[in-house]
């Protein structure tokens, strides 16, 4: 859906995420956002689009996203844990089966300082996806319910400024207009996921296709992004490798957010745990080599049985241990194992 790409991504700090959300929500109600979204629908870009008049479609899509965004619980995935999330995502494949209890919040907005995904546009420019919002939607009806996910890319203000300059605006005015008419992030693409869906519908051609509300609706690129988001959700669960801390909103911003109807809950910051291991870490190997970094050994994801007669399953992070000095630099390796064992007495789900 985006027409912008990034030049230099300067991610906000966790304490700045509420203000970013506030600005995004305000942008969604602007005339500039309506014009952009209407043009996107008219040009048949994106994955999910209302049928009918593009102007009316833009209105309902923006209003729908605004409701999700202003109610969202905010999550911030720090740079140190992003590689671990990416490595776990590669092993998730396309086994979704996501239910409401698998989400860290039913309505959320999660920002990644390092891109959760990228793609190259037709003009050769790389677009970086750095955030995702999710929640219920009023645009798609499914008897069992589901969630809509919106992916956000970095707005390329340099490109927008260049467009204003090309039609005669002075540099200062072009810069002012670019920032006045755009938010820091741009709505790029979207996914609809009915609860429990394990099969994705992916169009073979640009321009979308009739929506089947019983199946996960995604594009080829967004499937990979969905894996990273799914892994991020999993790592929000309590485990020995990560920790989730809370960044409370400043008092002034909390009051302003409350007046605007936004969620005022603290930002949940997901990072690599810096807690000392329960037992002393070994600093040397049998060969006598000294380990000068701290790294996780054998973390993996498992679909753990739970519920009546252990008939249900959900993803869980199963911790290994840390190796190396507690105060050494953290290094994340490239191997994350995946165990997908069926519950006792049942066969593997297809």
For 62-110, the pLDDT digits (tens) are: 999 999 998 999 999 999 888 888 888 877 766 667 888 889 999 999 9
In the predicted model, is pLDDT for residue 32 greater than 70?
yes
Helix (H) or strand (E) segment spanning residue 74: strand 73-77
Amino acid 337: pLDDT: 45
Query: Cα 110 from chain centroid?
Result: 5
- The rounded distance, in Å, linking the Cα atoms of 147 and 100 is 9
The answer for residues whose C-beta is within 8 angstroms of residue 346's C-beta and 6 or more apart is: 311
- Of 19, 238, 32, 217, the closest CA to residue 111 belongs to 19
> What's the pLDDT band for 303 if we cut at 50, 70, 90?
low
pLDDT of 218 higher than 90: no
- Buried b or exposed e, range 309-343, using 16+ CB within 10 angstroms: eeeebbbbbebeebbbbeebebebeeebeeeeeeb
Q: Are 269 and 246 in contact (CB under 8 A)?
A: yes
Return the higher-pLDDT residue of 68 and 273: 68
Is residue 313 a contact partner of residue 306, using CB atoms and an 8 Å limit? Answer: yes
Confidence of residue 138 (pLDDT cuts 50, 70, 90): confident
Does the pLDDT of residue 7 top 60, yes or no?
A: no
Does 331 have pLDDT greater than 80?
Answer: no
CA–CA gap between residue 53 and residue 41 (Å, rounded): 9
**pLDDT, mean of residues 316-326:** 62
- Assign 259 a pLDDT band (cuts: 50, 70, 90): confident
Mean pLDDT along residues 113-132: 89
Name which residue leads in pLDDT, 7 or 158. 158
Region of poorest pLDDT, from 46-60, 126-140, 236-250, 270-284: 270-284
**Coil vs helix vs strand at 239:** coil
Question: Which has more pLDDT, 338 or 307?
Answer: 307
* Window from 20-34, 94-108, 278-292 with minimum mean pLDDT: 278-292
The better pLDDT of the pair 317, 118 is held by: 118
Predicted local confidence at residue 313, as pLDDT: 65
Q: Can you give the pLDDT at residue 285? A: 46
Among the residue ranges 25-39, 284-298, 315-329, the one predicted with the least confidence is: 284-298
pLDDT over threshold 70, residue 340: no
In this structure, are strands 312-318 and 108-111 parallel, antiparallel, or unpaired? unpaired
Q: What is the pLDDT of residue 269?
A: 95
| Whether pLDDT at 282 is above 70 | no
In percent, the amount of the chain with pLDDT more than 70 equals 72
Task: Provide the pairing of β-strand 267-272 with 73-77.
Answer: parallel
Which of 180-184, 253-257, 262-266, 269-273 is predicted least confidently? 253-257
Average pLDDT, the chain: 78
Note whether 284 and 291 are within 8 A (CB): yes
pLDDT value at 264 more than 60: yes
Q: What is the mean pLDDT of residues 298-315?
A: 64
pLDDT at 80: 87
């Amino acid at each position: 859906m985006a027409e912008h790409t990034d030049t230099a991504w300067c991610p906000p700090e966790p304490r700045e995420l509420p203000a970013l959300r506030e600005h995004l929500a305000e942008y969604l109600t602007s005339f500039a956002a309506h014009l952009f979204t209407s043009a996107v629908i008219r040009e048949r870009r994106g994955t999910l689009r209302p049928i009918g008049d593009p102007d009316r479609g833009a209105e309902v899509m923006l209003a729908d996203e605004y409701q999700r965004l202003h109610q969202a619980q905010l999550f911030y995935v720090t740079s140190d844990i992003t590689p671990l999330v990416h490595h776990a995502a590669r092993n998730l494949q396309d086994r979704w089966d996501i239910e409401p209890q698998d989400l860290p919040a039913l309505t959320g907005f999660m920002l990644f300082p390092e891109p959760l995904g990228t793609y190259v546009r037709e003009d050769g420019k790389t677009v970086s996806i750095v955030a995702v919002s999710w929640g219920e939607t009023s645009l798609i009806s499914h008897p069992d319910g589901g969630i809509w996910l919106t992916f956000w890319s970095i707005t390329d203000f340099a490109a927008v400024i260049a467009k204003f300059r090309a039609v005669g605006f002075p540099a200062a005015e072009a810069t002012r207009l670019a920032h006045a008419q755009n938010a820091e992030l741009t709505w790029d693409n979207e996914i609809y996921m009915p609860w429990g869906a394990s099969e994705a519908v992916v169009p073979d051609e640009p321009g979308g296709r009739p929506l089947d509300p019983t199946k996960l609706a995604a594009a080829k690129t967004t499937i990979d992004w969905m894996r990273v988001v799914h892994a991020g959700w999993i790592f929000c669960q309590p485990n020995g490798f990560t920790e989730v801390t809370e960044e409370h909103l400043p008092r002034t911003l909390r009051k302003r957010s409350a007046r605007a109807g936004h969620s005022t809950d603290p930002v949940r910051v997901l990072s690599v745990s810096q807690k000392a291991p329960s037992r002393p870490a070994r600093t040397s190997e049998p060969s006598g080599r000294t380990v000068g970094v701290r790294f996780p050994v054998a973390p993996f994801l498992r679909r753990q049985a739970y519920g009546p007669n252990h008939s249900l399953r959900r993803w869980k992070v199963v911790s290994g241990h840390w190796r190396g000095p507690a105060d050494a630099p953290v290094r994340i390796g490239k191997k994350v194992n995946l165990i997908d064992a069926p519950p006792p007495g049942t066969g593997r789900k297809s």
